[in-house]
Amino acid sequence: DRLLDGGADDVERAAEAALRPRRLDEFVGQSTVRDQLSLVLHAALGRGGSPDHVLLSGPPGLGKTTLAMIIAAELGTSLRVTSGPAITHAGDLAAVLSSLEEGEVLFIDEIHRLARPAEELLYMAMEDFRVDVVVGKGPGASAIPLALPPFVAVGATTRAGLLPAPLRDRFGFTGHLDFYDASELEQVLLRSAGLLGTVLEADAAAEIAGRSRGTPRIANRLLRRVRDWAQVRGDGRLDLRAARAALEVYEVDVLGLDRLDRAVLSALCTRFGGGPVGLSTLAVAVGEEPETVETVAEPFLVREGLMGRTPRGRVATPAAWAHLGLTPPA
């Protein structure tokens, strides 16, 4: 797993658990989604019923799982967690659904990766609080309807566009999470440092925030690396010196680019004159798989205006040349 990847594995998730905001008013930034969600939840609480199903979309590491947990906490109920890839058969989903208790929140991460039969089962469950359990095979098979207690589905997806319309339509509320700005990330960092029992100096917070790619997960991860540096090589203080030194050790530059990002940009500029060059040629030049370049490095480089995608291939922008300290060919 890369230091600057927005995703997380189980070990990472364990380290994160302590840093998660528990209530909506502790959740930093995303004011639009927060405000809308607050209305949805309070209205449901006021009526004494369950809210609509909620779909959360946005890139990894921006707080979708955290919000699902907050939804359950605000509703005073418990959360059950599953994910699209974990459900390989419709029967797996039927088992989860039929074990839900009334009012529980079912969080389905990466919901766009649910297999089709499971997806169909889910529509029905969300709409009618019912599943048909198929018993037997072939002509003798029959469907036995099973009533479910009312529950709240919270789906999370990095690709809302990939969800089939019938599934998307079952969600009464969709919140889209966007990248955080630097001042929001500073708040996330200061809060996290407090929870870790340390004091993060303001200029160090700004330094880390600026290199965190708009993503709280990355900000928290870099904070842990800075804390390591301060403990082992510094004087324990999380100050600007520690932040800069740690980020240098981990090769995270001032824009939040890591070694792969810089290798891609540098190959593009120095070996291909700034492009255009095809993805696979570029990938060979940096010794990576095309898919890695396309899914790991490219989205951030494009978002930061360092790389452009044209029909003839990838091109370096003037900002890329400037960032590498190079002069573009005349």
Q: Which residues bind ligand ADP (CB under 6 A)?
A: 16, 19-21, 27-30, 60-66, 156, 188, 216-217, 220
Closest separation between CB of residue 98 and ligand ADP, Å? 26
Catalytic residue chosen out of the listed positions 113, 211, 213, 217:
217
Catalytic residue chosen out of the listed positions 34, 64, 213, 262:
64
Closer of 60 and 276 to ligand ADP (Cβ): 60
Q: Are 143 and 132 in contact (CB under 8 A)?
A: yes
Closest separation between CB of residue 215 and ligand ADP, Å? 8
Q: Are 54 and 108 in contact (CB under 8 A)?
A: no
Q: Report the C-alpha gap between 256 and 282 in whole angstroms.
A: 21
Closest separation between CB of residue 103 and ligand ADP, Å? 22
For 92, other C-beta atoms within 10 Å of its C-beta total 15
- Catalytic status, residue 270: no
Question: Binding residue per annotation — 123?
Answer: no
Q: Write out the H or E segment, with its range, that includes residue 144.
A: strand 142-147
Question: Binding residue per annotation — 250?
Answer: no
Closer of 60 and 290 to ligand ADP (Cβ): 60
Closer of 29 and 274 to ligand ADP (Cβ): 29
Catalytic residue chosen out of the listed positions 109, 239, 258, 261:
109
**Residue closest to ligand ADP, measured at CB:** 63
- Catalytic status, residue 215: no
Closest separation between CB of residue 283 and ligand ADP, Å? 26
For 46, other C-beta atoms within 10 Å of its C-beta total 8
- Catalytic status, residue 13: no
- Rounded to 10°, the helix 90-98/116-128 angle is 30
Closer of 23 and 89 to ligand ADP (Cβ): 23
Question: Binding residue per annotation — 127?
Answer: yes
- Catalytic status, residue 253: no
DSSP assignment string, 4-69: T-S---HHHHHHHHTT---SGGGS-S-HHHHHHHHHHHHHHHHHTSPPPPEEEE-STTSSHHHHHH
Q: Are 110 and 84 in contact (CB under 8 A)?
A: yes
Query: Which residue type sits at 274?
Result: G
Q: Report the C-alpha gap between 286 and 108 in whole angstroms.
A: 36
Question: Binding residue per annotation — 128?
Answer: yes
Q: Report the C-alpha gap between 121 and 100 in whole angstroms.
A: 15
- Of 19, 146, 151, the residue nearest 79 (C-alpha): 151
Closest separation between CB of residue 61 and ligand ADP, Å? 5
Question: Binding residue per annotation — 151?
Answer: no
Binding residues for ATP: 19-20, 61, 64-66, 127-129, 170, 180, 217
Binding residues: 19-20, 61, 64-66, 127-129, 170, 180, 217, 309, 314
Q: Write out the catalytic residue numbers.
A: 64-65, 109, 158, 217
Binding residues for Mg(2+): 65
